Amino acid sequence: MNKIKYCTLIILLLAANTSFSNVTLPAFFSDHMVLQQNAEVKLWGWGNPMEEITVTTSWDTAEVKTKADRHANWQVLLKTPKAGGPYTITIKGYNQVVLTDILIGEVWLCSGQSNMEWTPSSGITNGEEAIKNADQPEIRFFNVVKNSAENPQLDLKGEWQVCTPNTMQYSSAVAYFFGKKLHENLNVPIGLVNSSWGGTPAETWMPQEVIHADKTLEEASKKLGADVWCPSEPGRTYNAMIAPLVGFKVAGVIWYQGETNTGNADTYQHTFSALIQSWRNDWGQEFPFYYAQIAPFEYGAPEIGVKVRDAQRRTLAVPHTGMVMTSDICTTDDIHPRNKLDVGLRFANIALKNHYQTMQGIVEGPLLDSVSFKGKKAYVYFKNSEGLYLKTKDTLFEVAGADRVFHKAKGALKKNMFIVSSDKVSKPKYVRYAWGNTSISNIFNKAHLPASSFTTEKPE
């Protein structure tokens, strides 16, 4: 009888030990996920301290072994092959976890506020047709559930989903159209990690220590008002919706945000540049970071919208960035342009040319290159200027002298350069273009992409 009790006790102890030491993984390591191809990717999770963990993959029969540390953390590095699948990954400790239907391809992080979050079911142009044709099994979504936190988190909520009409209609429309074109052109699986939240300012998407260490960022963050729809405090969405993802290998980032930062327009270039660098620092990866310029809209106060657009243009000084123009595919009475297809395609074109180097030609709109002054005239040169043309006669240029009082100017197009002048300014010193919250560019290049608004005045 005592022997039976002893054996029962041992069995119960072993069962207890196993139940409290199961190997677990973050939510984004799961069935149906996409891993970055031809890369060294990190896989991590939790287990019992000193528990031996063995990881095997069906693309490589070699076993990768590690042990959970005294804080119950473990991680391994896996070398992924070229695009393909489906594969399985087996993680074995005291228990065993098998991840199935894993694809290897290209993974992109998609983030920002409502224009990135906007789904096909929310009323986009030709949304019903896009949903109907969204049976794309090699495109996968991971939609991060909205959450905020005072401190960086280890995990988040969400699940990988195969792209079907049902899953696509509740995922980011911009991300889907971006991923679909990448898939068609690269012929590889595409993973789209969507972590976005409507109404959020940039400050809540970056580590709070970055903000607190920078006087300009800290002062700007203090001006952000509370919003009933989303957090605005520094770092809150970063902590809950980005920090857990840090280390998950991605090819790059696409970003659509800025409308909420119109109240801090004068410092947005500094803020946005710091956000890009902070994410790259966290990942230890100089990944491409492409973003959409906000659309012309009233925005409530003079010039705050166009100042953000100009700040986004200036942020192109950060290496490996690219900007999608939206002024020609919007209406000025809607802060959410319904044409998400062209936004996604323009993102994809920039990635295909600049990152994947599989596309030729111009993929971005005309951008201010330089301005020179001679007498009463200003000579304005653009980048991406091949085939410049005007859609309307009014060139939307203004010039100012040393007094910084701007006057409407004439602009004569000579090949890929504009000669700009005003009878009211005898000695121009500054030039600006399409300078207004609702001003829509009418200068286009050979790719039929619009020029960005700009001013040669330096932000205060």
Paired sense of beta strands 73-79 and 40-46, if any: antiparallel
Question: d(Cα 208, Cα 274) in Å, to the nearest integer?
Answer: 11
Q: What does DSSP assign to residue 146?
A: P
129 Cβ contact partners less than 8 Å away, ≥ 6 residues apart:
none
Q: Name the residue ranges covered by the structural domains of the chain.
A: 104-355, 367-455
- Between strands 96-112 and 34-36, the pairing is parallel
Tell me, what's the pLDDT at 21?
55
Which residues on adjacent β-strands are paired with residue 292?
A: 324
The helix/strand/coil state of 368 is strand
Residue 348, Cβ density class (10 Å: 0-12 exposed, 13-18 middle, ≥19 buried) = buried
The whole-number pLDDT of residue 460 equals 63
Which pLDDT does position 314 carry in this prediction? Answer: 98
Q: What is the pLDDT of residues 306-342, one digit of tens each?
A: 999 999 999 999 999 999 999 999 999 999 999 999 9
| Helix orientation angle between 215-222 and 268-283, rounded to the nearest 10 degrees | 110
**Separation of alpha carbons 47 and 22, rounded Å:** 6
What SS3 class is residue 234? Answer: coil
Choose among 64, 26, 71: nearest CA to 45: 26
Strand pairing partners for 412?
Answer: 419
Task: Report the predicted TM-score, pTM, of the whole model to 2 decimal places.
Answer: 0.94
Q: How far apart are CA 413 and CA 393, in angstroms?
A: 11
Q: Does domain 104-355 have CATH number 1.10.3720.10?
A: no
What is the number of helices (H) and of strands (E) in the chain?
11, 23
Q: What angle do CA 261, 234, 201 make, to 5 degrees?
A: 20
CB 434 within 8 A of CB 418: no
Whether the Cβ atoms of residue 113 and residue 259 lie closer than 8 Å to each other:
yes
Given a contact cutoff of 8 angstroms between Cβ atoms, the answer to whether 137 and 163 are in contact is yes
92 forms beta bridges with: 54, 96
DSSP state of 166: H
pLDDT value at residue 61: 83
Low-confidence ranges of the chain (pLDDT < 70): 1-21, 460
Rounded CA gap, 329 and 124, in Å? 12
Cβ–Cβ under 8 Å, residues 101 and 86: yes
β-pairing, 430-433 with 454-455? Answer: antiparallel
First to last CA, the chain: 86
CA neighbor of 280 nearest in space, from 272, 269, 288: 288
Q: List alpha helices for 170-288, DSSP H.
A: 173-186, 208-212, 215-222, 236-237, 268-283
